[in-house]
Amino acid sequence: MMIPNQSFFFIFFLSVIFNTLASPTHQRDALLEFKNEFPFNASDPRAPPEAPLSSWNTSSDHCSWKGVTCNAHSSEVISLVLEYTYLNGSLKANTSLLKLHHLHHLTLYNCDLIGEIPSSLGNLSHLRHLNISDNNFLTGEIPSSIGNLSYLSFLDLSHNYLVGKIPSSLGNLSRLTVLDLSDNHGLIGEVPPSIGNLNQLTIMICYINKLNGNIPSSFANLNKLSYLILSENQFSGGDLPLILSNLTSLSYLDISENHFKSKLPPNMSGLHNLEVFRVSSNSFVGTFPTSLFRIPSLREVYLNGNQFEGPLEFGNISSSSSELELLELASNDFHGPIPEDISLFRKLDIISLSNNSFTGSIPGSMFKLVSLSELDLSYNKLEGQVPSFLWRIYTLRLSHNSFSNLEELPQAVVNGSDYDLTSNSVQGPVQFDLSSNALEGLIPRWICKHSSLIFLDLSNNHLSGSIPSCLMNCTSSLGVIILRNNNLSGFLPDIFTNATKLRSLDVSRNQLSGKLPKSLINCTSMENLNLKGNKFKDTFPSWLSSLGSLSVLFLGSNALYGPISSHLGFPSLRVIDLSNNSFNGTLPQDYFVNWREMASVGEKDGFTSSDGIDTFMEHMGGGIYEDSMDMMYKGVDTEFPLILLMFKAIDFSGNKFTGRIPKSIGMLKELRHVNFSRNAFTGSIPSSLANIKNLEALDLSHNKLSGYIPRDLANLSFVSYLDFSHNLLQGPVPRSTQFQRQHCSSFEDNLGLFGLEDICGSVHVPHPTSGDSHQSKEFSSEESEEALSWKAAAIAFGPGVFCGLVIGYIFFTSHKQTHMVHGKARLNHLGGSITVS
């Protein structure tokens, strides 16, 4: 038993220790020690201009320091909140934060922390709020010791790179109301059932991880849960009817982008607080969940990307009580008509029913949806007339149906100068996609009334007549015009004077004629211009080279004529098609010197945002618009999505070009497709083509090319299509896998070619004659001369290309004596066939 004096001294001793630990000096020193745990480097380019934690110094009270909050009476640190502070280091296992015994609130948000979360944080026993989110280099597992923080009510470890399983010890945090583990990418395994013990939890967010298995049935205990977001994981099941029926406080549910394969609960009307229901991109099956729409508070429904089937039946709903604003049902197996009672959801702003099998016409009752700003009915089996009340909608997508005509607007609307075609309260840019239907007649002039029109696609229909010149009223806002594959005639109107935002114009496969409008030169944002398959009669529009962003230029299959020998070049061009015109003359040997984009390798080839890809994949109200073009590829006229056409290609085929193929073609070393066929090119095949290492298709057929096929072309390892037929070529065919797998017809009608027995079958191979040897030496000399000329051309282009070409030239000259002729097959082209003797 302790005597009174001993008891007094013991209590006094504890009091001294406590006061020492809680003293302002001790608290200040602990904070300064914490600051010194991080290697601040003012020279780091990411460091802020002001030194991190510059206010933390001994010249001021620590309670006034940035991010520090103290108890007003004892000066104990109770809160430390550091946001966007460049710490650039790791939390130490013995971090000085452990000396702040009364810390209630710790936030280290977006502080560039690295390393792992130390398990010692579990010793901060008074902690109620812990936020260590948005630290891009924070890795490792979640320490199970965090489960010791019995007072914790808020835990946010989101937007890091944490890995491993969620520790079951988190189920001990009985006071927890917010749990956010989202966007870590690396959390795996099943959610521990112990999480169901957190019956005070109101918010649980775990999206963008690799969590799998079933949602624990214990989640049914979370009857205070308001937000549950488990999207972008790998969950596959769970007793959803049991769980959802108990989550009566739920207002926001998101389990999208998982692997659920079950049915939804048959009765969800008990979720009377639900506002957002998102289960998209799973494999849910069954019929349309009618009970969901009896929830008066419901605002947004996302059922898209599942396997729901059957007709839409909303059941008994009241228009006066419905708050529904968004209905997303795309990419399911719904069929039958769109129900008339969809109009009972009077507050609907966005409807997407695309990629289903809906039939019939658009219900007239939708006229009552006066708040509707976006409607997507694309990829269905709808037909009939497109009602005129839809033109007040800002984003309208009706493509890939069977609509036959557009309902006329009253003449007063068409002629009126002050009529506001859009009556919605929500204002915004206008986007119309009615492509791939069976629309007939003229392009309606009332489209020009939409002064905010930014996107118009009427392609793949049966529209006739001329392109309305009144579109000039819209060109100042228009970014995309696609009228491809109709029966439009007349001139392309000169309406582009103010079209500075126009990035894509496609009027291909129509009957347009006349000259190209010079006002196109004002389209300074133009990236994609497709005029192919018309009757334009004009000279080559070299003035288009001033459009610095032009990436895709299709002028093929028109009546264009004359030389194209402009030296200006197209610095941003990736794909050009001049095929099937009447262009003539010779191309200078340095013709392609300034075509920089086809020669460059960089981030643009990775389809980054700077690549202009957004031009060809227009974002339209949450959906992605994909355009396409057709071009000759490997001998076949093929339609490509523009995202694929971003490889680099040149097609000059089907013209009247003469002279030599420019050696500067080899400078365009990022080309994938080269077609110079069906011209009158002469001379030898440029050996510089071997510099195009990624070449996949080369067509030089139907010309007057002579000499040997350059041996270095055998080193083009990506080539899958070659065509040298119908020329005057001679000598051996290069031996390589790429050449051997070509069809025999790729070499036909070249009387001097030999070495084709592996391609065209067994043949008699005579020994080379002295004439053959002489011919070989003569051609080797010609190749040497070409290589020297090419070396000189490379000097003008740049040292990087020059070095590569000099090396290639040295290799060629040192090996030219080894070029021996081993045999010759006699090929005679007779009536379109090849005979081999």
Q: What is the full DSSP assignment across 792-826? A: HHHHHH-HHHHHHHHHHHHHHHHHGGG--------
- Return the amino acid letter for 426: V
Domain 490-767: which topology? 3.80.10
Q: What is the pLDDT of residue 631?
A: 54
Nearest to 702 by CA among 657, 672, 736, 664: 657
Interval 198-255: pLDDT, tens: 999 999 999 999 999 999 999 999 999 999 999 999 999 999 989 999 999 999 999 9
Angle between helices 24-36 and 4-22 (to 10 degrees): 40
Q: What is the pLDDT of residue 570?
A: 86
Neighbouring-strand partners of residue 129 = 105, 154
pTM assigned to the model: 0.81
Nearest to 18 by CA among 28, 27, 29: 27
- Return the amino acid letter for 283: S
User: In which residue ranges of the chain is pLDDT below 70?
Assistant: 1-23, 41-51, 319-321, 410-427, 566-568, 601-646, 762-837
Q: Are 276 and 254 in contact (CB under 8 A)?
A: yes
Sequence-ordered list of residues with C-beta below 8 angstroms from that of 469, at least 6 positions apart, any chain? 493, 495
Provide long-range contacts, Cβ within 8 A and 24+ apart, for 345-350.
345/317, 345/319, 345/369, 346/319, 346/322, 346/370, 346/371, 347/322, 347/323, 347/371, 348/324, 348/372, 349/325, 349/373, 349/374, 349/426, 350/325, 350/326, 350/374, 350/375, 350/621, 350/622
Nearest to 144 by CA among 203, 194, 99, 97: 194
Q: What is the pLDDT of residue 500?
A: 94
Sequence-ordered list of residues with C-beta below 8 angstroms from that of 420, at least 6 positions apart, any chain? none
Nearest to 562 by CA among 531, 532, 537: 537
Q: What is the pLDDT of residue 408?
A: 83
Beta carbons within 10 angstroms of residue 687's beta carbon: 24
Q: Are 358 and 377 in contact (CB under 8 A)?
A: yes
Beta strands in 260-363 (DSSP E): 276-278, 285-287, 300-302, 307-310, 326-328, 333-337, 350-352, 357-360
Sequence-ordered list of residues with C-beta below 8 angstroms from that of 836, at least 6 positions apart, any chain? 756, 760, 761, 763, 825, 826, 827
Q: Are 348 and 323 in contact (CB under 8 A)?
A: no
Which phi and psi angles does 536 have, rounded to 5°? Answer: -60, 135
CA distances from 64 to 68, 109, 388 (A): 7, 20, 65
**What is the distance between the alpha carbons of residues 118 and 139, in angstroms, rounded to a whole number?**
11
**What is the distance between the alpha carbons of residues 639 and 628, in angstroms, rounded to a whole number?**
7
Residue 69: exposed, middle, or buried by beta-carbon count in 10 A (0-12, 13-18, 19+)? Answer: middle
Q: Tokens for 421?
A: 């075609």
